């Protein structure tokens, strides 16, 4: 049966946080060019989706117990497969590395559909709880997929050389901006002087230790600052460092809801991404629309998205270098204002979802 070239089915099984933000904005952008159907969990917040995107819901609970039951619910999976068969899209695109993606991809490939995967993390992070499972899923995706979408040229080169994948099979699509968070801005919240934001899940690879050591240097030199830590995760490994600058730290050690996110970015002067290792970062996609300069370590594809001296600084994984970069921005109002304007401008030049999609639409033909 000839496929409908105007239709594309996208999959996003996680339904919350960064993966869901990405899926909704990608779906919205692609719907400007194709008829888009998005498979997603019933619990996912559909508020971020435009009315052009047609939703196909499935039970995919975030709790382990219910997830096992959802996995064993053969009826719901069969029902979804029948729906997709009737839609008859040109392509099936999995936007994350959920374990179900492999099973669905194999079944849909046997039914004659083109399979596309987005790999956000071609190289797994240190300290990531699921990194061994992710590595296996990534490898299977390279075998099954007709196209693999990655966020930067760095990772295209890695996949082509490491796994001997044909170059034309790997497509670069930069992570788009999260300007949709601007609609949650609170007019009463203002930027707070000398405030650094460390935002997101607290995991070993995120390098909170590097940031704390750099701020300890600033404290010893007599500089005033405030650090806001906002995100879920284990802070015990950083207890001693936090104790040394406790009067300068504000901690929100929990999951941050979508409507709360702008509050923290509005208050910040700069955003710190002092990672030990990384592939990309959705934090930049939030920081730029809010006009917040970024200090990032020279890891993964971060240097491709931080324009040196324009939207922030790229530094080595060294507390002294991080401290120097912080001082350049935090204590110079003119530098911050210039970078603020640059960040907002870059949002719609480099990180525009639709503009970048036009370059890869051929993968759906």
Tell me the C-alpha to C-alpha distance, in Å, between residue 305 and each of 94, 201, 242.
Answer: 24, 20, 29
Has residue 129 got a pLDDT over 80?
no
pLDDT of residue 260: 95
Domains of the chain: 4-174+352-364 (3.40.50.2000), 180-347 (3.40.50.2000)
Has residue 316 got a pLDDT over 90?
yes
pTM of the model: 0.93
Helix (H, G, I), strand (E, B) or coil at 11: strand
Confidence bin at 9 (pLDDT 50/70/90): very high
Average pLDDT rounded to a whole number, residues 307-336: 97
**3-state DSSP percent of the chain in helix, strand and coil, to 5:** 45, 20, 35
Confidence bin at 4 (pLDDT 50/70/90): confident
Average pLDDT rounded to a whole number, residues 287-312: 95
What does the alpha-carbon distance between residue 261 and residue 228 come to, in Å, rounded to a whole number? 12
pLDDT of residue 272: 98
Confidence bin at 292 (pLDDT 50/70/90): very high
Average pLDDT rounded to a whole number, residues 130-158: 92
Alpha helix ranges (H) inside the chain:
17-30, 64-72, 74-87, 100-110, 131-144, 153-162, 208-220, 239-244, 261-267, 282-287, 302-305, 319-330, 333-347, 353-357
Has residue 1 got a pLDDT over 70?
no
pLDDT of residue 281: 84
Confidence bin at 312 (pLDDT 50/70/90): very high
What does the alpha-carbon distance between residue 77 and residue 113 come to, in Å, rounded to a whole number? 17
Confidence bin at 335 (pLDDT 50/70/90): very high
Average pLDDT rounded to a whole number, residues 164-180: 96
Contact between 40 and 62 (Cβ < 8 Å): no
pLDDT digits (tens, 9 = 90+) for 75-90: 999 999 999 999 999 9
pLDDT of residue 127: 65
Helix (H, G, I), strand (E, B) or coil at 120: coil
Instruction: Give me the DSSP letters along 126-142.
Output: TT-TTHHHHHHHHHHHH
Exposed e or buried b for every residue in 265-287, given b needs 16+ CB within 10 A?
Answer: bbbbbbbbbbbbbbbbbbbbbbb
pLDDT digits (tens, 9 = 90+) for 211-267: 999 999 999 999 999 999 999 999 999 999 999 999 999 999 999 999 999 999 999
Arithmetic mean of pLDDT over the chain: 95
Has residue 124 got a pLDDT over 80?
no
Q: Which residues face 251 on adjacent strands?
A: 229
pLDDT of residue 132: 80
Confidence bin at 128 (pLDDT 50/70/90): low
């Amino acid at each position: 049966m000839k496929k409908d070239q105007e239709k594309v089915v996208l999959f996003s099984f996680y339904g919350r946080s960064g993966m869901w933000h990405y899926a909704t904005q990608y779906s919205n952008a692609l719907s400007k060019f194709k008829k888009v159907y998005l498979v997603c969990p019933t619990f996912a917040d559909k508020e971020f989706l435009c009315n052009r995107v047609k939703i196909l819901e499935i039970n995919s609970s975030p709790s382990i117990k219910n997830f096992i039951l959802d996995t064993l619910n053969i009826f719901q999976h069969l029902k979804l497969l029948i729906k997709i068969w009737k839609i008859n899209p040109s392509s099936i695109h999995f936007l994350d590395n959920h374990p179900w993606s492999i099973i669905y991809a194999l079944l849909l490939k046997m039914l004659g559909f083109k399979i596309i995967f987005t790999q956000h993390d071609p190289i797994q992070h240190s300290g990531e709880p699921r990194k061994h499972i992710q590595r296996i899923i990534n490898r299977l995706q390279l075998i099954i997929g007709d196209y693999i979408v990655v966020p930067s040229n760095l990772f295209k080169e890695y996949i082509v050389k490491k796994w001997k994948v044909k170059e034309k099979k790997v497509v670069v699509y930069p992570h788009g901006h999260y300007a949709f968070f601007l609609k949650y801005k609170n007019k009463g919240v203002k930027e707070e002087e000398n405030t650094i934001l460390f935002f997101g899940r607290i995991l070993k690879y995120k390098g909170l230790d590097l940031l704390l050591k750099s701020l300890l240097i600033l404290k010893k030199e007599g500089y005033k600052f405030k650090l806001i830590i906002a995100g879920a995760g284990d802070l015990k490994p950083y207890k001693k460092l936090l104790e040394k600058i406790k009067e300068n730290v504000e901690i929100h050690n929990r999951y941050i809801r979508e409507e709360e996110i702008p509050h923290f970015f509005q208050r910040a002067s700069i955003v710190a991404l002092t990672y030990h290792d990384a592939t990309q970062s959705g934090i930049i996609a939030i920081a730029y629309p809010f006009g917040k300069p970024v200090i990032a370590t020279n890891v993964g594809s971060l240097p491709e998205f931080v324009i040196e001296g324009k939207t922030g600084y790229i530094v080595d994984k060294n507390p002294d270098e991080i401290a120097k970069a912080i001082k350049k921005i935090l204590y110079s109002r003119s530098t911050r204002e210039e970078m603020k304007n640059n960040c907002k401008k870059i949002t719609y030049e480099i990180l525009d979802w639709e503009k970048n999609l036009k370059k890869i639409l051929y993968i759906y033909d």
